[in-house]
Chain A
Amino acid sequence: MKIEKPAQAGTLESNDIYVQLLPAEGEGIEIRLKSVVIKQFGNQIRKVAAQTLSEMGVTECLCLLDDKGALDYTIAARVESAVKRSLC
C-alpha cells in the first residue's frame, strides 16, 4: 500500500526518533536517516524501520528519520504510529 497522507510521530528528545512519512518521490520505500549514532547503528535503524513498514503492508513511501539514540522498540513504535496516522 502506498503512503498518500503525510504523517509524523515521535519527538527530537534524546533516546527518541522523529519519523516523517511522505508520499514516495520515486519507487518503493526510501528511507533517509539522520542519527546521532549513525556510524554505529545506521544500518540497524534502517533495518528496523524498513521491517516495520513492510510488516504494516507499506510498499511505497518516503520515510525521513531524525534519530537521537532510540532503541529498536522505540523505532518500531514510532514508525508504526506514523503509518497508522497516515492511514486514518
Chain B
Amino acid sequence: MLRRTSLFIPGNNPAMLLSANILGADSVIFDLEDAVALNQKDSARMLVKKAITTFDFIGIEVLVRINPVSSPFWKDDLREIIEAEPDGLVIPKATKEDVIAIEALIEELEEKYNVSKKVSFLLIAESAYGVEMIAETLGCSKRITGVLLGAEDLTADMEVVRRVDGEEIDYARKRVVMACKAFRVQAMDTPYTDVDNFDGLLADTEKAKALGYTAKAVINPRQIDYVHQVFAPTHDEIDYALAILQEKERAFTEGIGVFSYQGKMVDQPIILRAEKIVAMARKLGLIT
C-alpha cells in the first residue's frame, strides 16, 4: 500500500475520528499514546476499536499507536485493538526488547481472535538508544514495514534544543534511513511542527526525500497535499523513466543486452528505478 503521509488522529476525539477517512492521507495513525490523557486511556482504546470497524477505510492504511512497553497500558491496548484488525501498529520508543515482547503477545491475540491478516509494525525511533540500536531492532521481527523518526522525543532525550535547520537530528536522520535501506523497510521522516509554515514544510520534506525518506508523518491535515507534492515523481522524472523503459524494450527486441540512453549506460539499477517511478506515477494517476 502506498504510504507517503501518515496523519496522527487523537484517539479519544470522536469529531476527528469521523473525518479520518476523508482527509486524504495515505495512512491514518489512531493515537492512544501522546494525544490521550492518562485517565482516558481505557476509553480511548474502546473508541478507536469501534471506529476501525465502523468506518470504511478503503485504500487507506489504518495504524494504531499503542502506548510504550514501559507504560502500564500497552497490554490492554493490544488486547482491545487486535480484534479490530488494524493494518498495523505504531510502536513508540521502540527497542528490540519492546518489539519482541509486543510480538509475543500479538501472536497469542491473533490466534485467539482468528484474524485474517497479521498486523505490521511501524517503529518510532525517538530515543538515543533507539536510534543507536536501530539495525538490531530491525532485524528482530518480520512484521516491521518501516521506521518513523520522532525528533521531538529524541531531542528531549538527547537534551538538545530542536532547531529549524534540523542540525541536531542530522546524524539520527541519516542513521535511521541507512538502517531502513539495509533492511528494505520504509523510512518515514519526523513531523514538521510549525503547522502554518508551508515553505518550511516543503524544504524539510525535500531534505528528507534527498536522504532517502519516502514518507513523512503529518500532524495537521493541511500538510498532506504539500508532502504528497514532494513525494510524487516530477514530470521530468516520469518522462525520463518512460523513455528508459521504451529503450529497454527496443534493445530487448533487437537482442541487445546493455544499451545506452542520452550518452549514459543504462544498467539494471537504472531500469529498476525507472520501473518504480512509472509504477508510482500510474498509482497516482499521473499517467495512464
A binds B: yes
Chain A interface size range = 10 to 19
Contact pick for A71, options B12, B18, B53, CB 8 Å: B18
**The 3 residue pairs across chains A and B that have the minimum distance between CB atoms:** A73-B50, A81-B43, A15-B15
Question: Do A78 and B43 form a contact, CB below 8 Å, given A73-B50, A73-B51, A73-B54?
Answer: yes
Across the interface, which residues of B come within 8 angstroms of A11, CB to CB? 12
User: Is the pair B15, A13 in contact by a Cβ cutoff of 8 Å?
Assistant: yes
Question: Do A13 and B51 form a contact, CB below 8 Å, given A77-B43, A77-B46, A78-B43?
Answer: no
User: Is the pair B42, A76 in contact by a Cβ cutoff of 8 Å?
Assistant: no
User: Is the pair B50, A76 in contact by a Cβ cutoff of 8 Å?
Assistant: yes
- 18 A-B contacts (beta carbon < 8 Å): A9-B43, A13-B13, A13-B15, A14-B15, A15-B14, A15-B18, A71-B14, A71-B54, A73-B50, A73-B53, A77-B43, A77-B46, A77-B47, A78-B43, A78-B47, A81-B43, A84-B42, A85-B42
With the chains together, A85 CA to B14 CA distance in Å? 20
User: Is the pair B13, A74 in contact by a Cβ cutoff of 8 Å?
Assistant: no
| Interchain Cβ contacts within 8 Å, total number | 41
Contact pick for A70, options B14, B43, B49, CB 8 Å: B14
User: Is the pair A81, B46 in contact by a Cβ cutoff of 8 Å?
Assistant: yes
With the chains together, A13 CA to B53 CA distance in Å? 22
Across the interface, which residues of A come within 8 angstroms of B47, CB to CB? 73-74, 77-78, 81
Across the interface, which residues of B come within 8 angstroms of A84, CB to CB? 42
Across the interface, which residues of B come within 8 angstroms of A13, CB to CB? 13-15
Closest B-chain residue to A80, C-beta based? B46
Across the interface, which residues of A come within 8 angstroms of B50, CB to CB? 73-74, 76-77
With the chains together, A8 CA to B111 CA distance in Å? 33
How far does the Cβ of A9 sit from chain B's closest Cβ, in whole Å?
Answer: 5
B239-259 with Cβ < 8 A to chain A: none
How far does the Cβ of B241 sit from chain A's closest Cβ, in whole Å?
Answer: 44
